[in-house]
Amino acid sequence: MKRILTTAAALSVLATAAFADGHGKNPMVGGAEMFAEKNIVENAVNSADHTTLVAAVQAAGLVDTLQSDGPFTVFAPVNDAFAALPAGTVETLLMAENIDQLTKILTCHVVAADVMSEALVGLIEADGGVYDIATVGGCTLKASLNEGMVKIEDETGGIATVTIADVKQSNGVIHVIDKVLLPAM
């Protein structure tokens, strides 16, 4: 596959990536500094915006996986994204009898590769504006650009926006998103 990256598109996405400063430091997420030498779980537990995601990862038994070497790209929904689900959804998913469904949803947010925003923009452009992303959970997400922002469409047609990109981790990268991505059920 040929990778094409236009400077204008890359700068547009990177300009909205919410970097902490212009020197390549990781951005603050949920009021906490993210450290590139820590793994995905070690950083996520410090983000006030990701307490629901962390609780779900713990309930699904995915902590060890997301602390392993990876590399992983995690599209990490904020608490407000979980709160926007129908009432009672999160509580139901956290029940022991629903762990398989919870695991499926969570692993549909994970890619078994280290995909920074610049590379993702290049893949989107090389594929004519939409790039299919295969996830660890077997879902296919569709990445595109809209007004300079990376959008991720799930298998139900829901669309999340990457609000903070390129949060480097020792075992991959996190891209913060504003919606929970759902698999086709």
| Domain layout of the chain by residue ranges | 7-18+26-177
Closest by CA position to 111, among listed 163, 173, 50, 51: 173
In this structure, are strands 172-177 and 110-111 parallel, antiparallel, or unpaired? unpaired
Task: Please name the fold of domain 7-18+26-177.
Answer: FAS1 domain (2.30.180)
Q: What kind and span of H or E run contains 93?
A: helix 89-93
| Tokens, residue 123 | 């893949």
The pLDDT, as a whole number, for residue 176 is 95
The model's confidence at residue 31, banded by pLDDT at 50, 70 and 90, is confident
The model's confidence at residue 11, banded by pLDDT at 50, 70 and 90, is very low
pTM given for the model: 0.85
Residues 6+ apart with CB under 8 A from 61: 99, 103
- Number of residues that make up the chain: 185
pLDDT at 131 over 90: yes
| Torsion over CA: 46, 15, 25, 133 (sign) | positive
Pairwise CA distance, residues 120 & 143, whole Å? 8
The pLDDT, as a whole number, for residue 24 is 60
pLDDT: which is higher, 63 or 13: 63
Pairwise CA distance, residues 118 & 83, whole Å? 30
Q: What Rg value do the Cα atoms of the chain yield, rounded?
A: 16
| Torsion over CA: 70, 131, 106, 13 (sign) | positive
The pLDDT, as a whole number, for residue 35 is 86
pLDDT at 18 over 80: no
